[in-house]
Amino acid sequence: MDKLQQLGTVALTVVVFVLLASYFLAMLMGPALFFLTPAGLDFSLGEVQPPILLFLVFGFYVPFALNTGLLFLLLWSIFMICFVAAWRLRESFHDVLSRAFSRPFGKLFNNWLFAKPIVASTLLAAFF
């Protein structure tokens, strides 16, 4: 592996690590802002009948009112389960990071959690 590719791998790993740290911060701040602030607490005590859209073609409303606090916890729990699955599936995030400097550049994307910040940043740059 030449020096330029090694430098690119180091820079990419640092960027992914910083962006992943922001995901952790967002996961901690979400429930804190939702349940520990006066406005969030007022909102969490309300009820909502969310729409469910299937393929953006067929839509209907939930036939009963849901507590917004419980709905938030349900969606947050699903996000956490998906986050843990992304950490562990294919090749674990820790394994990708620990061997990032000794493997080819293409093998860094064996973990979706490592690839997600890069893909999301690229899509954002392409969109704007």
Q: Do the strands 47-48 and 58-61 form a parallel or antiparallel pair, or are they unpaired? A: unpaired
Q: Where are the domains of the chain?
A: 3-127
Dihedral class, residue 90 (left if φ above 0, else alpha if ψ from -120 to 50, else beta): left
Residue 113: CB atoms within 10 A of its CB come to 21
pLDDT score of 73: 93
pLDDT score of 31: 92
Whether 1 shows a pLDDT value over 60: the answer reads: no
Confidence band, pLDDT 50/70/90 cuts, at residue 101: low
pLDDT tens digits along 29-71:
999 999 999 999 999 899 988 888 777 777 888 788 889 999 9
SS3 61: strand
User: Which pair of structure tokens corresponds to residue 96?
Assistant: 């990708």
Structure-model confidence comparison of residues 97 and 65, the more confident one = 65
Alpha helices for the chain (secondary structure H):
3-36, 38-44, 68-88, 93-98, 112-127
pLDDT score of 113: 78
User: Which pair of structure tokens corresponds to residue 77?
Assistant: 């729990």
